A and B are shown apart, each in its own frame.
Chain A
Amino acid sequence: MITLSYKGKNTFLEAVNKKSGSDVLECYQCGKCVSTCPVSNFMDFPPREIMQMIKLELKEETQMANSTWFCLTCSACSGRCPREINIPAVMEAVRHLAIEENFHPDSKQVKNIRKFHEIFLDMIKRYGRNYELRMMAEFNIRTRNLFKDMHLAPKALLKGKIPLGVKSVKSAKAIKKMYEMAEKLEQQNK
């Protein structure tokens, strides 16, 4: 097994380590994370392989994999990792680097997940809080799947499970400003 890495400046490994606050080189490939991860069977590469790919500087392959988008940040893996690596933070670091550098995995599932998050953040930007019904409707429209979950609609709406409106925040301006400032900070981080 290859465990050597190109440790040095400006490597993918260094970038991930810096962003995650963990040292991926600590990983000794035991695979405990894979057996713990509830979504590893949906991933192109399970967490253990992602760790090895980072060590081997397989940047593009790692960034284009759906793995980091499927991570639920449930922290089951890191709780059991014998090397105490914060694996969800590593997954997140890889994902954030991918967003910054415009890597777009082709899979439809990843595109949907990404769209969902964009719509969710858009709802908060507009209302300061999540408008659940509108979020679901926009997701269906933007993913061109109008009838998704429609079988639940009569039950969920009639029973009042999902209310029709939203109580938005009063200081909408403060939220908009926060979004602008956060975007600036993200640009500085690049």
Chain B
Amino acid sequence: MKKVTYFPGCSAHGTSEEFDLTVKMVMKTLDVEMEEIPDWNCCGATSAHTMNESLAYALPLRNLVLAEKLSNDTMTIPCASCYQRLKVTKVHMDENPELAKKINTTIVEEGNYKGRVAVKSMLQYCYEDIGLDAIKAKVISPISGMKLACYYGCLLTRPKSITQFDSPEYPMSMDNIVEALGAKAMLFDFKTECCGASFSISDTDIVLQLSGKILEMAKESGAQAIVVACPLCQSNLDMRQGDIEKKYKVKYNLPVFYLTQLMAMAFGFPKEKMMFSKHIVPVDGALAHIGEVIEEPKKPAKAKKAVKAESEVE
């Protein structure tokens, strides 16, 4: 059994309870024991680094120091924004010990930062540490028939120098996981476009435009639903979808799932345990496609021959 430190983040107790719940279900199935950081605090999110540089480092640093008190050498975080703040802090502290010393003066009682614990997003942990084969092995009721657009948002894979994970332009890790669950991942160009994040409250029009474009592209890809691994992406695409439809006079009806909700379903947990009742856009329409056979477009036979001919020449 693997052990990993868990940082749930504020939204796990708020808007994204269902994410937290299904992460726990999925990890248990995959034989991973999660140990929550005792008395963790908010990472500061966008607000801290917008307004106050020292605070933007100090808030995540306290969590990193608390995590070092547990024996595990990796920490996993479901929220993309928390992940980004903790990882940025870790990378900058490791690169610049002098800065680490300075910021450490804000949390003297908690102890000194050593840089021992690796920070990974939940997606990265599933993909790198658990692996596709182990995930596949646990699938007992595949979600085949579903056509999904995997939306990563900006913070899971960018900036590359910080995340060191997957592609910043066209990542495939989540696509590969949903395919392992039996679903079809659609070609989707807006995988890493920004949803507008915290402007949801402070300048809603920006979110309506940005998230609107993402919904538009997801619909165009032929997907029946969107999959995310970030609470803010979920609430912007789900809770604001009605406003977007009204503003641009369109109809999307695209439910927005957390990756772990779909994983838990494929692992055989009953639908009732996923807290789908919290979703604003109803999920039943998309789930009804489970079990359908997706017809693959036939590849043109001529093109194949041409490729063969070329290789023969070599």
Interfacial residues, chain A to chain B (CB-CB below 8 A): 38-39, 42, 69-70, 72-76, 78-79, 86, 88, 92, 95-96, 99, 109, 112-118, 120-121, 123-124, 128-130, 132, 135-136, 139, 148-149, 152, 155-156, 159-163, 166-167, 169-171, 174-175, 177-179, 181-183, 185-186, 189
Instruction: Find out whether the CB atom of B277 lies under 8 angstroms from the CB atom of A159.
Output: yes
Q: Which of B91-132 contact A (CB under 8 A)?
A: 102-103, 105-107, 109-110
Does B58 sit within 8 A of A, measured CB to CB?
A: yes
* Stretch binding the partner chain, chosen from B11-19, B21-29, B174-182: B11-19
From A109, A162, A174, A179, contact of B203 by CB (8 A) = A109
Asked if A112 and B202 make an inter-chain contact with CB atoms under 8 angstroms apart, the answer reads: yes
B203 touches A76 (CB 8 A): no
| Complex Cα gap A75–B155 (Å) | 8
Q: Which B151-168 residues have a C-beta within 8 angstroms of A? A: 154-155, 158-160, 168
For A189, the chain B residues whose CB sits under 8 A away are: 53-54
Q: Most chain-B CB neighbours within 10 Å: which of A148, A183, A185?
A: A185
Say whether B278 contacts A160, CB under 8 Å.
yes
Interfacial residues, chain B to chain A (CB-CB below 8 A): 10-11, 13-15, 17, 39-42, 44-55, 58-59, 62, 102-103, 105-107, 109-110, 154-155, 158-160, 168-169, 192-194, 196-199, 201-204, 206, 210, 235, 239, 277-280
User: A113-B203, A186-B52, A189-B54 in contact; A128/B47 too (CB < 8 A)?
Assistant: no
- CB pair B154–A74 under 8 Å, yes or no, is yes
- Residue pair A95, B106 in contact (C-beta under 8 Å): no
**In the complex, given contacts A38-B193, A113-B203, A116-B201, what are 17 additional A-B residue pairs having Cβ atoms less than 8 angstroms apart?**
A39-B210, A42-B206, A70-B206, A72-B196, A72-B199, A74-B197, A109-B203, A116-B198, A118-B51, A123-B42, A128-B41, A129-B10, A129-B42, A174-B62, A174-B110, A177-B106, A182-B52
B47 lies within 8 A of A121 (CB): yes
Q: Which residue of B lies closest to A139 (CB)?
A: B201
Majority SS at the chain A contact face? helix
Q: How far is the CA of A38 from the CA of B51 in the complex (A)?
A: 21
> A75 is contacted by which of B13, B14, B154, B235 (Cβ under 8 Å)?
B154
User: Would you list 11 pairs from A and B whose C-beta atoms are within 8 A, ordered by A residue?
Assistant: A39-B194, A75-B158, A113-B203, A116-B198, A128-B42, A129-B41, A136-B201, A152-B239, A160-B277, A161-B280, A181-B54
Residues of B close to A163: CB separation below 8 A: 13-14, 17
CB–CB B194/A130 < 8 A = no
Q: Are A124 and B201 in contact (CB under 8 A)?
A: no
Is the Cβ of A174 less than 8 Å from the Cβ of B107?
yes
Chain A: CB-nearest residue to B160 = A79
Residues of B within 8 A of A174 (CB): 62, 107, 109-110
Q: A residues within 8 A CB of B154?
A: 72, 74-76
Are A92 and B41 interface neighbours, CB within 8 A?
Answer: no
B168 (CB) vs chain A CBs: closest residue = A79
Complex Cα gap A167–B10 (Å): 9
**Contact A124–B59 (Cβ < 8 Å):** yes
Residue from A38, A113, A186 in contact with B194 in the complex, judged by beta carbons closer than 8 Å: A38
> Which A residues are in CB contact (< 8 Å) with B17?
160, 163
Name A182's contact: one of B55, B155, B198 (CB within 8 Å): B55
**Chain B min CB distance to A163 (Å):** 6
For the complex, give the distance between the alpha carbons of A155 and B279 in Å.
9
Hey, which chain A residues are within 8 Å of B10, CB to CB?
129-130, 132
